[in-house]
Amino acid sequence: MSLFPYLFIGVGGTGGKTIGMIHYNLTQALKRLGIDAFPMGWQFLHIDVPAKQDVASPKLHYNLPADTYVPLTTTQSSYVQVDYAISESLQAGGLLRHLAWESWRPFPPESVTVNLPFGAGQYRALGRVATVAGLIDIQNAVNGALSRVKDAQVQGQFDLIERAMGRTPGETLPEPCILIVGSVAGGSGSGMLLDVSDVVRSVGRAYGAEPDAVLFTPEVFQANDGTLSPGIAPNTYMALCELSNAMWTITGQHPTPGRDALFDRAGAKPPNPAQVGGPRAVYLVGRSSAEVSLGDADEVYSVVGRTYAEIALDPHLSNQLQAYGIANRAARAVGTPDKLGLATAQSSDLGNFGSLGFSRVTLGREFFERYASERILRMACLRLLDQHLTRHYPGDGKTDDQVLKEAVEQAWPGFLAASGVSELGQDDKVKDAIDPSRELEAELDLLANRILEDIRGNARQGKVAVAEARGIADSRIKKSLRLDEPESLRVRAVAAMRRRVDDFAPLASNLLREAVVNVCAEHGMPACVKLLDRLNENLLQAAHEVGVTELGHRREQAALMHEYVRVGEAGQEKSVKIGDALIDQIADHARQTMKNYVDLWTL
C-alpha cells in the first residue's frame, strides 16, 4: 500500500499553528531519512482573515511556504468595504437574501470597530463575512493544491520515501485525503469552517475526495484555573449547532438556506445540493483524557501535529482512519440514541461527531534529538561563560579574578600571533602587509637608470661636473615626491599601498575573527574580552610607536640621505670622468633616498 496524498487545511490561527506543526514533523522525519525535498503529495493551505499570517509562537514551528497562506483581506481592506461589496453584488432578494445574508451579517457595518486586516477579533461572524468575500480565492487555492497532490511526480516521490523507510512501495496511489483543522471555540476559523468545507466538497468531487475535520474544543483554551474567556461558551454552542445542522439533509435539500446564493455571488462552484454540508467526519480534540492532561493550547497543537504527521507517514494508519470515518459512521449513528428527537429517517442524517486520540511506542528519537541539542547548547554556553573557572582546583586559594588573569596570560602570546596585527617591538605584521616597496623595485631601478643617463648626457669632453650631477639627482628625487605628477613615484606608491590595504583588510578581519573564535572556544568569553582589551592597548601603543618614534626616525633618515645626495662630502672632486664610480654612487644614493621616502609614506 502506498502513502496517502494529503491536503491539510488550517482555518484561523488555531488551524494554521497545527498544520504548521504537521509540516514541521513531516520535514524532520524526512530529514532523518536523508530526504531534503518535500513531496508534492502533501499539500498545505492556511486560510485566515489577517492580510499577513500572524501565528508565530515560541513553542511552535511554523515554516510553511509563503504561497500556502490564503489571506482573506489585504492591508487596505476595511469591514465596511467588504460588507458593501457583498451587499451590492448579492443578486438574491426577499426571503432568500434575508436568510443568506441579512439575517446574520453584523449590522450596521459602520459599527464594526475591528481592523479586519489584523484579524477577526474572535468574532465568528466577521470570519464568515471575510470567507464569503474570498470564496473564489479559497476555491482557486484548494483546486491548485489538489492538482499538485495528483501530479505525476507524486508516485515517484512517495516511492523514494517508502524505500527509505524500508517498505515496498505500493503500485498505485490512493485517493487524496483532505483534513481541515480548526476550532469550535470562536474566532475566524470557527466562522469559516462550514464555507471552507463546502468549497472543498465542491472542488474535491473531481479528485474523489471529501473533507474530514479536526476541531479543538473549549477545554483546549482554558486558563490554568479552569476559566474561559467570556465569548468561548456561546461561540462554541452556536458553532456546534451550525455544524450539526449542516451535516443533516431535509427532503433532499441542503439545510443551509442561501448558501448557493453566496457561492453564485462569488462566482464559485457550489457543492452538490443533495449532499450534506460541512465535513464528512468531525473529530473533536480536547486537552485531557483519563490518563493524560496536556499543559496548554500550544502543546495540544504540537501533539495533534505530530499525530497527523505519523498518520501521513503510515499508509495503514491512514487507511484505518479513512475506513473508520467512512464505513463506521452509519453504524455509530444507528447505535447512538437520539435524546433530542431531532433525527429523521433519512440515511444521511448521521451523527458524525467523533473524538481523536493517539498513542505510540517509539525510541523517542526526536525527543532525544531535542534533549541532545539543548544539552550541547548548555555545554557550549557554560564553556563560553565559565571556562576559565575550570582552572580552579581544591584548596588553590585563588579568586575567580586570579584564575581569569592566569588564563589571559597563558593565551596572550598565541592570541597576539594569531591575530595578525602585532606591531610592537620587532613585529611589523601590518607594515609588512601594506608596504609597497617590493612592487616599486622595478620603478626605483628605472629612476636610478634615468638619473645615470641624465648625468652622462650632460658630460662634456668625457667629464661630469659633480655638483651638476648631484643637482640632476636632486631634481629627479623632488619630482618623484610630487603628488600633482600623475606618474610620480609618490602617486604610484600611494596607489600600490591602497591596493595592499584593500587586500589586507579582509584578511586581517578573518584572522582576528578566527583568533577570537578559537580563544573563546579554548578559554571562554571573559578571557577573550580581556585579551581584546589587551590587544587594543597593544595597538594603541604600537600606533604611538609607529606614528611618533618610527615616523620621526624615518623622516630624519630620508632627509639626511636626500641632503647627502644633494651636497655630497666635503673636499670631494669638482669633476670626474664619465665612468667614475662616484657617478654610479650618486645614482645609487638617489635610489636609496627614494626608497627611504617610500618607507616613510608607508607609515
8 A C-beta contact, residue 561 and residue 589: yes
Specify the pLDDT at position 332: 64
Question: CA angle, 191 as apex, 187 and 196 as ends, to 5°?
Answer: 130
Query: In this model, does residue 200 exceed pLDDT 70?
Result: yes
Dihedrals φ, ψ of 44, to 5°?
Answer: -135, 140
Measured CA to CA in angstroms, residue 30 lies from 9, 27, 279 at distances of: 21, 5, 30
Enter the DSSP assignment of 150: T
- Residue range 376-389: average pLDDT? 91
Mean pLDDT of the chain: 86
Are the CB atoms for 271 and 30 separated by under 8 Å?
no
- pLDDT reported for residue 247: 78
- Share of residues in the chain with pLDDT > 90 (%): 40
pLDDT score of 150:
94
Helix or strand run (H / E) with residue 70: strand 69-71
pLDDT exceeds cutoff 70 at 528: yes
- Check residue 404 and give its pLDDT: 93
| Residue of higher predicted confidence among 182 and 507 | 182
Whether the predicted pLDDT of 316 surpasses 80: yes
Dump strand ranges (E) for 172-260. Answer: 177-183, 211-216
Q: pLDDT over 70 for what percent of the chain?
A: 91
Higher per-residue confidence, 341 vs 13: 13
Domain 6-361 has what CATH class?
alpha beta
CB atoms within 10 A of CB 59: 13
Q: Cell digits for 330?
A: 452509519
3-state DSSP assignment of residue 353: strand
The DSSP bridge pattern shows strands 463-465 and 575-577 to be: antiparallel
Helix axes 551-567, 466-480, angle to 10 degrees: 150
Question: Which three cell numbers mark 492?
Answer: 604610484
Which residues are CB-neighbours of 334 under 8 A, at least 6 positions away?
none
Instruction: Give the full edge-to-edge strand order of the sheet including 6-11.
Output: 69-71, 42-48, 6-11, 177-183, 211-216, 282-285, 353-355
Interval 283-293 mean pLDDT: 81
Which of the residue ranges 311-315, 366-370, 543-547 has the most confident prediction, judged by mean pLDDT? Answer: 311-315
pLDDT(556) > 90: no
Least confident of 6-15, 62-71, 537-546: 537-546
Convert the pLDDT of each residue in 245-278 to its tens digit.
887 765 555 556 688 889 999 999 988 776 778 8
Structure confidence at residue 587 (pLDDT):
86
Domain range summary for the chain, segments of one domain joined by +:
6-361, 382-602
